[in-house]
Structure 1
Amino acid sequence: MMAAGAALLVQASGAYAADYNWRYVGVINAAHDYAKIMIEGFERVEERTDGALHIEYVSYGETPYKATDSLTLIRDGLVEMTEWIPAYNASTYPLLAGPELPFVMAELEDAAGFQEATLKAWSTPTISEYKQSIIDEHGAVSLSTQFYDPINIWFTDEVTGIEGMKGKKVRAFSPVQADFLTSAGASPVNIAAAEAYTGLQRGVIDGVITGAGAVVSFKWNEVLTSGFTTNLTLLSFDMVAAEAKLNELPDEVRAVLVEEMGNVEAEIRELMPKAYEQKIAELKEEGLTITNPSPELYGEFHRIAVEDVFPAWAEQAGPQAEEILSDFGIELN
């Protein structure tokens, strides 16, 4: 992994002008706060390299590709840079789900504390080495790691307790989320984010598992009525680039890119807790019923996860799974 160096400015000699035109394919649309930070970072790269490296931001919805295939796209040379969400590949690499298991924290954390705890889990040798091996085998390099705001559960009608979840059809995007919903009495549904709005409108689904930022950016708040601020999980994502494409860049250009993506990482990590609280406040003002779980309700969510979700995941993920759970103070019976 290349380390970010000191600030470098490629002189305005025009030596590299327009030599490298990349696309960054992101999961979120350009209206999302995170996308704006990324785009500003790409603009700084272009300015500091005198136009040598131009990176265009596009969302997966504007391409024929799927976010679940992000590392494959890098490996096959179809994109230069993209957003990789490990949770999207947890079916293929189940150990990746470990740091983002639903309700893995024993108590409800605020967003800032949740981010620190999740980052620590990703940094442990077991999971960090496993994650790096997957990135390496796809010929990719991670330039930054960030977190979306805490993932919550949202519904088209008013749901304020676990009883209200029973029978609801809810969009999930990972196997462990689906297992949790089933154990809580709901029915998990696999539906693309682009189809969720009409799905919620027409009753194909009754709810979604997602963050408040996504609710606003996808305009799902127009068809949702309530939500649990449960901190079900904290979704991480990496900005990854094709190693071969990175190596094609002149040293000075590559150093600027690495440094600026480090700046993007820091900006997004600082923004996340603040943006989360702001989005929740906005949704409350719009009239959504937001339930902050009591210790007892959160404890019930945690119990369901520990008893019904984690054992099945650990069996599938292999012997290293228990090491990851122990990092959270969880011992399976």
Structure 2
Amino acid sequence: MGIITRTWRVATLGMALGAIAGNALAADYTLSVNTALAQQDPLYRGLEEFKQNVEKRSAGKLAIRLFPGSQLGKDEDVLEQARAGAPVAVVVDGGRLAVFVKEFGILGGPYLAQGYEGIRKVVTSPLFDQWAEKLRTASGHQVLSFNWWQGERHVLTNKPVASPADLNGVRLRTPGAPVWMETIRAMGATPTPMGWSEVYTGLQQKVIDGVEAQDPASFGSRLYEVTSHLTKTGHINLITGIVTSAAWFDKLPAEHRQILREESLKAGDSASRATEASLADYEKQMQEKGMTIVEIDTKPFREATQPVYEKLGYTELHKEVEKLLQN
């Protein structure tokens, strides 16, 4: 990123945060939370619960401002502001944190854990706490909680898919983190990094042939209008967290730090279980709008993607996580 571009983004975010501060004079501290989620998403409703509970418990001394649709910028830009000590947080996946601490990348590994309860076991473990502490040291980021589950990701295309061979030559949109890219490549497709906001147009204009995503995001972005088949591969269990500035967090009174962490964890559980409960309805609505949704035998995809862990240097860590999941 060039210096001029970075300076412009910093200035833009600075103006936005200045406006926020002007609207939150009653609070002693204000945290601005950025997310790519739409307001209709179950996880966003969890963020609203987080806001309400934090403000109530702190008697209004700690204010939370929510920015859906990435209004404060890309995740990477907000993470950069947090590193600089700005009072911002972002709902982010482990892949984007792996550039600072490699271990976080395994959270996006193929078929790592099953469902919310499986992945929650990982992100509330002492092993995960070690990664979070390393992140504070390496990049100056503070994890509030990492139990914000968005669902298992499936493949959306305009043709039937039953095996990795069916994805040969298919340009499939995915985030640019290495673990995501290698997973999609192992599944047989050509991984194509692209911002989420560009996916609908990219499919319309045939810049990409398909996308992999979780049901709430697929429905919220009306991808049933530009794809015809949803194949339930469940290849990535999308878990995200609220990550803020360690420098800002450390300046808070101890009771405020406790409130943020406790309410973030509680709201993450609430939002994730609401997501679980919503999946069947999202799929029903997409079927009613003409989309074909197919359950397949995922064994060929599981076998094809297992080498991803070794390729990215996660072999030993994968064994640790599997052991944790078995206990």
TM over 0.5: yes
Q: Does 1:175 align with 2:174?
A: no
Output the CA distance in 2 between the equivalents of 1:311 and 1:286: 41
Output the CA distance in 2 between the equivalents of 1:263 and 1:95: 24
Output the CA distance in 2 between the equivalents of 1:86 and 1:153: 20
| Contiguous gaps of at least 5 residues in structure 1 | 1-15, 106-112
Output the CA distance in 2 between the equivalents of 1:235 and 1:184: 17
CA distance 1:77–1:327, shift in 2 (3 Å): closer
Aligned to 1:238: 241
CA offset digits 1:116-143 (Å, max 9, x no partner):
2223344565554234301343333322
CA distance 1:251–1:100, shift in 2 (3 Å): closer
Structure 1 residue 205 displacement after superposition: 0.5
Output the CA distance in 2 between the equivalents of 1:151 and 1:179: 15
CA distance 1:228–1:68, shift in 2 (3 Å): farther
8 Å contact 1:71–1:84 — kept in the other structure? no
TM-score (norm 1): 0.78
Q: Does 1:144 align with 2:145?
A: yes
Output the CA distance in 2 between the equivalents of 1:136 and 1:121: 21
Q: Does 1:303 align with 2:312?
A: no
Structure 1 residue 69 displacement after superposition: 4.4
Q: Which amino acid counterpart does residue 279 of structure 1 have in structure 2?
A: Y
Output the CA distance in 1 between the equivalents of 2:245 and 2:188: 42
Q: 2:282 aligns with which of 262, 279, 283?
A: 279
CA offset digits 1:218-244 (Å, max 9, x no partner):
222221211121211112211123233
Range with bigger deviation, 239-248 or 27-36: 239-248
Q: Does 1:90 align with 2:89?
A: no
8 Å contact 2:132–2:142 — kept in the other structure? no
Q: Which amino acid counterpart does residue 288 of structure 2 have in structure 1?
A: E
What SS class does the counterpart of residue 241 from structure 2 fall into?
A: strand
Q: Does 1:328 align with 2:307?
A: no
Q: 1:270 aligns with which of 273, 288, 296?
A: 273
8 Å contact 2:173–2:211 — kept in the other structure? yes
Output the CA distance in 2 between the equivalents of 1:104 and 1:263: 23
Q: Size of the alignment, in residue pairs?
A: 297
Structure 1 residue 254 displacement after superposition: 4.2
Aligned to 2:200: 197
Q: Does 1:42 align with 2:45?
A: no
Range with bigger deviation, 120-129 or 177-186: 120-129
What SS class does the counterpart of residue 280 from structure 2 fall into?
A: helix
CA distance 1:208–1:51, shift in 2 (3 Å): same
Output the CA distance in 1 between the equivalents of 2:253 and 2:97: 32
CA distance 1:84–1:179, shift in 2 (3 Å): closer
TM-score (norm 2): 0.80
Range with bigger deviation, 204-213 or 74-83: 74-83
8 Å contact 2:100–2:135 — kept in the other structure? no
Q: Which amino acid counterpart does residue 324 of structure 1 have in structure 2?
A: H
What SS class does the counterpart of residue 150 from structure 1 fall into?
A: strand
Structure 1 residue 21 displacement after superposition: 2.9
Aligned to 1:32: 41
8 Å contact 1:142–1:240 — kept in the other structure? yes
| Contiguous gaps of at least 5 residues in structure 2 | 1-24
Aligned to 2:130: 129
Aligned to 2:28: 19
Aligned to 2:115: 114
Output the CA distance in 1 between the equivalents of 2:304 and 2:196: 26
8 Å contact 1:72–1:138 — kept in the other structure? no
